[in-house]
Amino acid sequence: HFDVCVSGHDNGPMFEEQPSSLIYPEGLTEGKVTLNCQARASPAASYRWLVNGTDVPLGLDPRYTLVAGNLVISSPESVRDSGSYQCLAINRCGAIISRAANLKFGYLRDFSPDSRSPQTAYEGMGAFLACQPPPHYPALSYRWLINDFPNFIKKNDGRWFVSQVTGNLYVAKAEPNDTGNYFCFTTINMDISTKSTFSKANQLTVLPDAIPRKSAPSIKVRFPAETYALAGHTAQLECFAYGNPVPNVRWRKVDGLMPSKAGSSAECPTLILPDLSFDDEGVYECETYNSEGRDTYQGRINVQAQPEWLQVMNDSEVEISSELHWSCVAAGKPRPSIRWLRNGQPLTRLKIINLALEDSGMYQCVAENKHGTIYSTAELRAPDFRLNPVRKLIPAARGGQVMIECRPRAAPKPSLFWSRGTELLTNSSRITVTPDGILWIHNISRADEGKYTCFAENYLGKANSTGHLSVRDATKITLAPSNADINQGENVTLQCHASHDPTMDLTFTWALNGVLLDLEDSSRMYHRVEGVSLVVSENIGDLLIANTKLSQAGIYTCTAQTVVDSASASAKLVVRGPPGPPGGLLVKNVAETSVELRWSRGYDNHSPIGKYIIMGRSSLSSEWKKMRTDPENIEGNAESARVMGLMPWMDYEFQVIASNILGSGEPSMPSHTIRTQQAAPTVAPSGLGGGGGDRGELIVTWTPMAREYQNGDGFGYILAFRKKGTSSWIVVRIPHVESSRYVYFNASLTPYCPFEVKIKAYNRRGEGPFSQIAVAYSAEEEVNFYSTHSTDKVAADRVRTAGLETTARVSGLRPSTRYYIAVLAYNNAGTGPPSPRTTVTTRKPPPNRPPVNVSWNAEGSQVTVRWDHVKAMHNESAVLGYKVLYKHEGQTALKVLDKAKSSVTLPLPKDNGYIVLEIRSWGEGGDGPAHEIIVSRDKGKKKTHQSFVCLDKCIICV
């Protein structure tokens, strides 16, 4: 029953979501199918579902549940649930029915298990293998395997063709190496899953032919003589021929131009025409050709279309009449039929004579052909103003204009007219009544005050609504804002005063360049300055801008507004500041130690640019530095400069900064990274020295050149050395940048012989200067001494014991270094023969960092001290623990406590005396530097400092 619909308050259903057709995989018995249906309605709609025109047994069969308006089918089955589903949305104003959604079930059976007959073909001849696909729904896609998975036939091999209509595999010209086992591979794609299967082997044997026979093309795969396709969809035509040589394919449209949408497919066995239109309809020809001849085939594409609305019914556009005439026009091919529904039920005829209230309800027009069905919906009801009455009080400003709307809910469209009292209003110089019922009154005066009534009528009924027009004084700007010119960071107040009708509230708004400002924003960029002036009925709505930014420049508009009218005034604010960033920074003319920069001027922000500076950074550092330039001082009108003093073969990027009397602006975007040109080295390696080694060796060492001094690739070292006192140099090239030593061997070298050495660097651009000459000694030999006093240099690698001691301490050694050791006995007559030589490698040094983040906490008579673990670097010995040395105030001796943990708890003196602690790491390489801390019970007197002085007891023994 639909006769209780409250006009003006209720709304009949309108679909927001309708069900869509779905293909569901057979066998997913634990799954669910959801068919969607949602309608907008007041009161809210209830829902029913139909399957093949019969009610779905909601509430009777637990497999069917309703979620909102959606139908959920649990454990769907093909036999029970296949069909056409429609949703009915119903409330007391009427009912509407959705489009039909087809639920179908997809499946792909297995191929027949029977073996397939072997096939034979002759070299140079054509052949095909039948797929014989298993039962399936919907359509399949086809591929073919050769011998093993995933060895698929390649799509771009013009000799082969796989028909997507039959699944058969064709070869235009067989070759002996085509012999093998072939498998048809089929795939089915459904909405929620995909399945594939493949056939038994198709054995193909190609018999060789000494002279393969050539043949003209013969078309074996043909598209239908009549192909029907839907507009907006894709058509695919297949054409493939046998022949030797392999035939080429080309397509043409016999009765017009080939559509450009065919693209490259116009020369392929499958012609693809996407997004079909009626212009694509016509006869198409496939031509196959080779050097032996040609073959052609023709067929027609017929384009059809689903229904599409050209004109839909509309409940707000039906003209008044004693009869109802709704237009409902649809296009389609074949031409759609039209039928009508009222509240979801078929109408035998639409024509309704002598419309009455009982004819109210929901009407639907249905257009359908074999390709689809579409629905249009409208509502029929008497006029009613309860949902949207005329405003009860309509204030208006004297001298202004007012618009009064009349928008009752009604269908068919009602006739509308206005009256003032008993006077019917018609168009005049001051009054306009628009066709859609809007009343305009211009140049309003006090005499226009009064009641205005809108009347609405259609053949289902009449209604009216009244409002009262009240005329008020106009709003005026009495003090407009003035133009201002300030520097960035200064404050400015823009004034705005206005008068208005005292019976209404007045509000001020401000806009910048037409965009309304949020004066309540928490950033407090803008501040209101409000109040009442001494002038009667004048209000103040000034705007204070504090700490002005460049972005706040522009046109400010003050608007004084009441509910009936508004008045506005504008002023321009100029904010001067440092220049904006230069743009378009380019690097040109890159040389070895200089580049040229070019840029374009940025905004001067109303203060002339005075100068530019150029900043740069290399790949060696992330820090920007001011660069040396030519000219040294870059004037504000310049747009280029040369950067000097760069390192050759180094990566750089640059920025340009403009400045004026108000300061420096933001830098430009960094330039792209460039690398300067290569140049020969300009400095020599440092740290040249050497010595040590085995007998017959001269070892020369130096410090490898840092990246900034290499100046180019192909880098290496040239080392020259000679015995002191001789004139000729031995020169060697060492082509590795990381090299730091060179060993020269000559069995005839005199032990501990002085050599003069010098070194220089080279790269692909040339050689650098030699270093200063240094002296290095060849390896020392175990020699006999004839007295206990030897030269300093010889003694440097000797430790002598006094008496018959069998131990000795050797100090001053390098950490993490391999040493050779021999022991010789000596007396006044000299030294004896050396013992067999042994090797010792000194330990890695301890970490050179003290513990950090040392903290302490005193509780009662104890104090707990904590610190972070010290992590050893790769060239340092591992940390095995920590030595905590401490003493109380007044004590002289330090107590030592070894700890493996990074915390310690110690007794705290009762007399607030201090505890002095040193905390250092220790390991195989010895003790690290100390962190010293002075602790007291009073936290306010905490003192902490670090000590980097090693104890004099640190000894490395070998």
> What is the domain-level CATH number for residue 533?
2.60.40.10
- CA–CA separation, 287 vs 265, rounded Å? 13
Among 464, 426, 433, 470, residue whose Cα is nearest residue 451? 470
- CA–CA separation, 290 vs 23, rounded Å? 45
From 168, 187, 213, give the residue that closes a domain.
Answer: 213
From 197, 213, 229, give the residue that closes a domain.
Answer: 213
Q: Does a structural domain hold residue 279?
A: yes
Q: Give 548's Cβ-side CA count (13 Å radius).
A: 23
Retrieve residue 127's tokens: 């052949």
Which residues, given as ranges, of the chain have pLDDT below 70? Answer: 1-4, 6-9, 314-325, 351-357, 534-537, 781-785, 787-797, 827-831, 889-899, 910-913, 937-958
Q: Does a structural domain hold residue 785?
A: no
What letter represents residue 552's amino acid? Q
From 453, 472, 491, give the residue that closes a domain.
Answer: 472
Q: What is the pLDDT of residues 341-399, one digit of tens each?
A: 989 889 877 766 666 667 778 889 999 999 999 998 887 877 888 778 999 999 999 99
Helices (H), 21-88: 78-81
- CA–CA separation, 196 vs 469, rounded Å? 76
What letter represents residue 599's amino acid? W
Q: Does a structural domain hold residue 928?
A: no
Q: Does a structural domain hold residue 900?
A: no
Retrieve residue 418's tokens: 């206005």
Query: Domain containing 460: what range?
Result: 393-472
Answer yes or no: do 266 and 231 share one domain: yes
Q: Does a structural domain hold residue 894?
A: no
- CA-based radius of gyration for the chain: 49
Which class for 802: exposed (0-12), middle (13-18), buried (19 or more C-beta within 10 A)? exposed
Contact call for residues 166 and 144 (beta carbons, < 8 A): no
Answer yes or no: do 571 and 591 share one domain: no
- CA–CA separation, 771 vs 790, rounded Å? 32
908 contact partners, CB below 8 Å, separation of at least 6: 858, 860, 861, 862, 863, 915, 935, 937
Peptide bond into 836 cis (omega under 30): no
Answer yes or no: do 16 and 84 share one domain: yes
What letter represents residue 605's amino acid? N
| Total domain count, the chain | 8
Answer yes or no: do 550 and 630 share one domain: no
Q: Give 619's Cβ-side CA count (13 Å radius).
A: 13
Contact call for residues 222 and 239 (beta carbons, < 8 A): yes
924: left (phi over 0), alpha (psi -120 to 50) or beta: alpha
Answer yes or no: do 605 and 654 share one domain: yes
Contact call for residues 562 and 501 (beta carbons, < 8 A): yes
pLDDT score for 166: 95
Q: Does a structural domain hold residue 372?
A: yes
818 contact partners, CB below 8 Å, separation of at least 6: 839, 840, 841
pLDDT score for 783: 40
Helix (DSSP H) and strand (DSSP E) numbers for the chain: 2, 85
Answer yes or no: do 719 and 670 share one domain: no
- CA–CA separation, 98 vs 375, rounded Å? 8
- CA–CA separation, 787 vs 641, rounded Å? 73
Answer yes or no: do 493 and 572 share one domain: yes
Answer yes or no: do 122 and 204 share one domain: yes
Q: Nearest 5°: phi and psi at 266?
A: -65, -5
Q: Does a structural domain hold residue 873?
A: no
Answer yes or no: do 340 and 419 share one domain: no
Report how far apart, in Å, the C-alpha atoms of 448 and of each of 464, 468, 475, 775 are.
20, 10, 18, 115
Q: Nearest 5°: phi and psi at 267?
A: -125, 30
Answer yes or no: do 617 and 697 share one domain: no
Answer yes or no: do 18 and 97 share one domain: yes
Q: Does a structural domain hold residue 714?
A: yes
Give the single-character DSSP code of 152.
B
**What is the DSSP code string of 652-669?**
EEEEEEEEETTEE-PPPP
Report how far apart, in Å, the C-alpha atoms of 81 and of each of 21, 50, 63, 71 are.
13, 12, 10, 12
Among 691, 689, 658, 713, residue whose Cα is nearest residue 772? 689
Q: Give 600's Cβ-side CA count (13 Å radius).
A: 3
Segment holding 248, helix H or strand E: strand 248-253
Q: What is the pLDDT of residues 113-147, one digit of tens each?
A: 999 999 999 999 999 999 999 999 999 999 999 99
Answer yes or no: do 246 and 301 share one domain: yes
